[in-house]
């Protein structure tokens, strides 16, 4: 447990205060001037009367209303010296005063102290005061926590982070690979800085910009760059922060957010993951009058309602535009939808250049080769790639990132962490034939992507891997390319059956079969690449959106469904027979490469093609991707 001086003081101080009051309470009723008249010994009341009758008492001081007396008397036991005693007098002793007067003894009555009642009252107030003080500190501390009781009176306030001048540290120069999106958003920045250039020709400032794209493509980074370039007040909030368990809280936060923004216009409001609050209304099972829909209604009203909020630009980001409400996407609310997609080879090269600024790269590392090796990578993937390479470099105690670290980092990002290599056994040889089957079929098919690497080193859940890298950006894919990919995916299964027999076929092709079945079905139902003709029988959509897609009826009859299944089966069977034919005709080169793979565990694409070319003609393909 960590020692805390604050806790020590918090517990010690009340203990000292309580002890002080108890000490004061113990002496609150002590006689006045007890310091100078205190007696060292006590005397009984009977002995006091004996001394009084023997004329030994010289003076008496009465305290506490006659209940205590300090008596000065001659003590015969110590050579008749005057001694002082304390005597507790009985409550009913009215004859004592008369006897003192009769004996002509000097006596005096001292009044009782009044501070006893005060100290008693303060002592009684100590515990309530300490209790209230402790509750105050607990309440104050918990109010700083999210959702703490201290926020009970402010839960309707906006939680947006506000910066009068956004110092995000990000400019457009720091955002690479998405030039089209930057150009669109540059106009927004110009609107904020120089609105007169647009208003002079009758243009009005856009109210909203929706950034749409897969995760990791740089939507949030773009919003930070806009704030950094514009230099205007910047409000940042996530869509999930509007929604609470209390109905009406989200709408109240929307109103409060726009009120603050209106006071600081012109400004930017950035809503990240807007699909958390902007989903379609009426698409829930339990009705439509819930908290999220009330929040969305208020957001729609603030963006384009009776009360115009001029000078406020809303930038929102989402990767699920298909579930957003149509009223949110219409012009007047989100006037522009900017698609932030995965970068092409030129964009990847620019992104790598940005993230390599603070990395120590070896002179042999080519960013262009890395960009060609990583098709489909987003900006976040590329940043993670260089970071993984830097971590591997530090782990291996090298001074600069080399090609080996880059290559290992690409493999780790794509396939997962490297596992322990298998020992030479029947299982390892079977996996080798499986992977060589993929690589050989892909190499001998003209329309297939070239082989990048074949390895027996396990990564993730895979015991072995074969990488195929596209040599160019493919926006459109032909029928022959799709069939080549299906045939290549079946190459591993075909190699197992040709070499070991149908009885020894393993479950290693499970993932391949799932992937190629989806491709074959899309060829039939979406792309019109079958005997059914050019028909689109299934729409392109993602996961079922509950309330909208749950009751969607089938778009074809049962007879057509049966024909679809037959066509899918025919395509797969044709490609499988083709793969088995390639493996039977190239059994010699297969055995040689398998022995080499078992020995080396990894063969790169160039070496693989050179060996295959010694036994058969390798079809000429488009220029291959440079090796790292």
How far apart are alpha carbons 159 and 334 in whole angstroms? 22
Most confident of 42-46, 240-244, 286-290, 502-506: 502-506
Partners of 211 in the beta sheet? 317, 338
Give me 224's structure tokens.
């930070």
User: What count of other Cβ atoms lies within 10 Å of the Cβ of residue 319?
Assistant: 16
230 and 193 Cβ atoms separated by less than 8 Å: yes
Tens digits of residue pLDDT in 339-357 = 888 888 888 888 888 888 8
How far apart are alpha carbons 132 and 129 in whole angstroms? 5
What's the average model confidence in pLDDT over 281-288? 56
SS (H, E, C) 32-89: CCHHHHCCCEEECHHHHHHHHHCCCEEEEEEEHHHCEEEEEEEEHHHCCEEEEEEEEC
31 and 111 Cβ atoms separated by less than 8 Å: no
CATH class of 426-540+554-613: mainly alpha
Most confident of 18-27, 115-124, 501-510: 501-510
Tens digits of residue pLDDT in 241-277 = 777 655 567 788 888 888 888 888 778 888 888 888 8
Virtual CA dihedral for 277, 283, 287, 293, nearest 10 degrees?
20
Phi and psi, residue 571, nearest 5° = -65, -45
293, 435, 496, 497: the active-site residue: 435
Start-to-end Cα distance in the chain: 52
Q: What is the pLDDT of residue 29?
A: 46
Q: Is 543 exposed, middle or buried (0-12, 13-18, 19+ CB in 10 A)?
A: exposed
Angle between helices 491-500 and 558-585 (to 10 degrees): 60
Among 16-30, 63-77, 125-139, 310-324, which stretch is predicted with the lowest mean pLDDT?
16-30
Decide which of 539 and 44 is more confident.
44
CA angle at residue 56 from 50 to 61, to 5 degrees? 90
**Strand 312-318 with 161-163, pairing:** unpaired
Tell me the pLDDT of the chain averaged across its residues.
Answer: 78
Q: What is the pLDDT of residue 416?
A: 75
Angle between helices 587-600 and 558-585 (to 10 degrees): 80
Which fold, 34-112?
3.30.720
Instruction: Tell whether the torsion through CA atoms of 224, 226, 230 and 233 is positive or negative.
Output: negative
User: What count of other Cβ atoms lies within 10 Å of the Cβ of residue 426?
Assistant: 9
Q: Indicate the pLDDT class of residue 551, thresholds 50, 70 and 90.
A: very low
Query: What ranges do the domains of the chain cover?
Result: 34-112, 161-339, 345-414, 426-540+554-613
Fold identical between 34-112 and 161-339?
Answer: no
Angle between helices 510-525 and 558-585 (to 10 degrees): 130
What burial letters (b/e) apply to 544-568, b meaning 16+ CB within 10 Å? ebebeeeeeeeeeeeeeeebbeebb
Chain-centre distance for alpha carbon 600: 42
Angle between helices 605-613 and 426-444 (to 10 degrees): 80
% residues pLDDT > 90 (the chain): 15
Which fold, 161-339?
Rossmann fold (3.40.50)
The predicted model scores a pTM of 0.65
Residue recorded with tokens 């400032």 = 205
- Would you give the DSSP letter of residue 172? G
Which fold, 345-414?
Helicase, Ruva Protein; domain 3 (1.10.8)
435 assigned to active site: yes
Q: What is the pLDDT of residue 245?
A: 56
User: What count of other Cβ atoms lies within 10 Å of the Cβ of residue 111?
Assistant: 9
DSSP string, 347-401: HHHHHHHHHTTTS-B-TT--HHHHHHH-TT--HHHHHHHHHHHHHHHHHTT-SSB
Which residue pairs from 12-18 have beta carbons closer than 8 angstroms and sit at least 24 positions apart in sequence? 14/130, 17/126, 17/130, 18/126, 18/127, 18/130
User: What count of other Cβ atoms lies within 10 Å of the Cβ of residue 196?
Assistant: 6
How far apart are alpha carbons 523 and 568 in whole angstroms? 8
Q: What region, left, alpha or beta, does residue 104 occupy, with left being phi > 0 and alpha being psi -120 to 50 degrees?
A: left
**Strand 81-88 with 68-75, pairing:** antiparallel
300 and 333 Cβ atoms separated by less than 8 Å: yes
What's the average model confidence in pLDDT over 443-468? 85
Tens digits of residue pLDDT in 293-303 = 788 888 888 88
Angle between helices 479-489 and 426-444 (to 10 degrees): 170
Q: Is 215 exposed, middle or buried (0-12, 13-18, 19+ CB in 10 A)?
A: exposed
């Amino acid at each position: 447990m960590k020692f805390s001086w604050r806790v020590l003081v918090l517990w010690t101080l009340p203990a000292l205060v309580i002890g002080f009051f108890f000490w004061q309470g113990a002496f609150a009723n002590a006689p006045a001037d007890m310091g100078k008249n205190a007696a060292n010994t006590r005397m009984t009341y009977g002995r006091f009367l004996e001394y009084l009758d023997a004329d030994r008492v010289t003076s008496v001081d009465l305290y506490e209303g006659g209940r205590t007396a300090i008596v000065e008397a001659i003590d015969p036991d110590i050579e008749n010296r005057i001694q002082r005693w304390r005597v507790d007098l009985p409550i009913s002793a009215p004859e004592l005063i008369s006897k003192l007067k009769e004996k002509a003894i000097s006596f005096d009555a001292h009044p009782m102290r009044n501070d006893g009642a005060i100290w008693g009252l303060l002592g009684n107030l100590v515990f309530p005061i300490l209790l209230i003080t402790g509750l105050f500190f607990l309440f104050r501390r918990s109010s700083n926590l999210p959702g703490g009781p201290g926020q009970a009176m402010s839960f309707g306030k906006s939680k947006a982070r506000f910066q009068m001048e956004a110092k995000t540290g990000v400019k457009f120069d720091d955002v690479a690979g998405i030039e089209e999106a930057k150009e669109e958003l540059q106009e927004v920045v110009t609107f904020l800085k120089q609105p007169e250039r647009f208003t002079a020709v009758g243009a009005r400032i856009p109210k909203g910009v929706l950034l749409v794209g897969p995760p990791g493509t740089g939507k949030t980074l773009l919003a930070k760059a806009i704030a950094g370039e514009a230099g205007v007040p910047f409000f940042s909030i996530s869509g999930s922060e509007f929604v609470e368990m209390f109905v009406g809280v989200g709408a109240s936060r929307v109103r409060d957010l726009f009120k603050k923004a209106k006071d600081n216009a012109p400004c930017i409001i950035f809503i990240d993951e807007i699909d958390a609050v902007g989903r379609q209304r009426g698409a829930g099972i339990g009705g439509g009058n819930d908290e999220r829909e009330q929040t969305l209604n208020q957001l729609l009203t603030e963006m384009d309602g009776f009360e115009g909020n001029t000078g406020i630009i809303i930038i929102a980001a989402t990767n699920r535009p298909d579930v957003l409400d149509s009223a949110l996407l219409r012009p007047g609310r989100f006037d522009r939808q900017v698609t932030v997609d995965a970068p092409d080879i030129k964009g990847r090269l620019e992104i790598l250049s940005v993230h390599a600024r603070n990395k120590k790269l070896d002179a042999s590392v080519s960013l262009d080769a890395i960009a060609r090796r990583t098709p489909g990578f987003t900006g976040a993937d590329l940043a993670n790639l260089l970071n993984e390479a830097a971590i591997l470099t530090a782990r291996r105690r090298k001074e600069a990132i080399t090609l080996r670290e880059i290559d290992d980092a690409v493999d780790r990002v794509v396939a997962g962490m490297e596992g322990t290599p298998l020992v030479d056994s029947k299982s390892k040889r079977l996996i080798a034939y499986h992977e060589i089957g993929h690589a050989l079929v892909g190499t001998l098919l003209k329309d297939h992507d070239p082989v990048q690497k074949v390895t027996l080193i396990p990564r993730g859940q895979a015991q072995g891997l074969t990488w195929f890298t596209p040599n160019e950006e493919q926006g459109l894919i032909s029928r022959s390319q799709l069939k080549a990919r299906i045939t290549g995916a079946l190459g591993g299964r075909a190699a197992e059956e040709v070499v070991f027999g149908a009885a020894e076929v393993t479950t290693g092709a499970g993932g391949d079969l799932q992937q190629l079945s989806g491709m074959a079905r899309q060829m039939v139902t979406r792309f019109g690449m079958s005997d059914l003709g050019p028909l689109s029988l299934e729409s392109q959509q993602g996961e079922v959106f509950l309330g909208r897609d749950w009751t969607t009826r089938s778009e074809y009859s049962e007879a057509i469904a049966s024909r679809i299944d037959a066509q899918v089966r025919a395509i797969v069977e044709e490609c499988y027979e083709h793969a088995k034919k390639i493996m039977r005709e190239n059994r010699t080169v297969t055995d040689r490469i398998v022995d080499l793979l078992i020995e080396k565990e990894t063969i790169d694409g160039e070496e693989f093609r050179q060996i295959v070319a010694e036994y058969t003609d390798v079809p000429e393909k488009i220029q291959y991707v440079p090796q790292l």
